Amino acid sequence: MKYRTEKDTMGKVRVPADAYYGAQTQRSVENFKIAADINRMPREVIHAFAYLKKAAAITNMEAEILSPEKCDLIVRVCDEIAEGKLDDSFPLVVWQTGSGTQTNMNVNEVIANRGHVLNGGKLADREKILLPNDDVNKSQSSNDVFPTAMHIAACRMLTETTIPGIRALHGTLMEKSAEYAKVVKIGRTHFMDATPLTLGQELSGYAAQLGNALAAIEKILPRLGQLAIGGTAVGTGVNAPKDFAVKAAARIAELTGLPFVTAPNKFEALATHDALVEAHGALRLAAVSLMKIANDIRMLSSGPRAGIGEIRIPENEPGSSIMPGKVNPTQCEALTMIAAQVMGNDTAISIGGSNGHFELNVFKPMIIYNFLHSARLLGEGCASFDEHCAKGIEPMYENIKKHLDNSLMLVTALSPKIGYYKSAEIARKAYEENILLREAAVGSGYVTEEEFDKWVDPARMVTVR
């Protein structure tokens, strides 16, 4: 491999000859060889940097502290980065400085060097038209632009992937709830038989869970839309022109199509990540809901002959390498694993969020890495579960009727008529003698056949009062 020499404030360093990045990026590559194959800085963060660097350059030009020529070069490179054309130029891992300074400089160096090449220069040139710190990073600090990139990346992931995925599954559950509103089945509490409800009512509970989680995620978006840019080093905005924060945030909003605004308190925006902690709390809520939903559907579809078997879910692929014909609830399993991962990510984010020291939180890369991981898993997981499982849910009417007819808890309807203790006696008799509830009730002498048929009507028991 051929190399060229680059230098920074610590001296000279050898960099791959064709790399657009420079000395500070190379130092990070050499000093942080930690899970480089699996824990690279997320592309979403890099692309977010492209929007904010473009916005900063335009704002600086309008403030007449950056020339139109330099601004144009920065903008052109930022457009390439946002389109993913320079993804290979960002090799750094998540496990680096907690402020994200090395990733910010990686972006600054790539923009400066690529801009120089677009202007007709060569990477090996000693003098270049753009400087990473003085031009690309003008009016900025890693301390305010990295959290800005975090919020841009988080909002884009939530709006483009997470919310659409959850919304699709929520919609399907609502449709299924309406479709099966009159399918009466036995309810279960403590994993034991309980009073009846309809399959539609059961599914409506799942839909309500997801609806609440979706509302919580959407509610936090405005807070995530508050950007730290303009706070520079510690929140005071030192070295940034007047109104830079407001104008840069407005420009980012224009470029992304999302309602970003300047953070009302830059000290909080740099020193903490409470907004991301709160937002991930909403993702954790979704994970908790999805764990319950997927587990219920897994158990309701269990069988096909030795389980509950009240609903049928799509058979997508063979389930066993040794048992012929076996089919497993794989989408349920994937979704519950996703839910577990999100809950684990939440612990890491909570710890990271609690470690803001004085004017700067230094767990930034880890927080956004886990946040984006959760947001993507939930969005894509819900979309997959919706397409390959939820849309295909169907009642297994024969099993539903069998379980309903055999349930002892229908005796609950007799309690207001003959009392709790006599009703319990009937249920115990039916269970011990292995006979139907109707037979035990009539045999007890407490009710007649006509009274039993009138009072014990599952369809009437499911009416919401």
- List, by residue number, the catalytic residues: 190, 320
On whether the CB atoms of residues 109 and 24 are closer than 8 A, the answer is yes
| Contacts with 59 (C-beta within 8 Å, 6 or more apart), sequence order | 139, 244, 247, 248, 251
Write out the two tokens for 383. 């979309």
- Cβ atoms within 10 Å, residue 219: 12
The structure tokens 């559907």 sit at: 297
Closest to 447 in 3D by CA, of 402, 413, 403: 413
Phi-psi region of 235 (alpha: psi -120 to 50; beta: other; left: phi over 0): left
Distance CA 129, CA 112 (A): 8
Joined tokens for residue 310: 């009240």
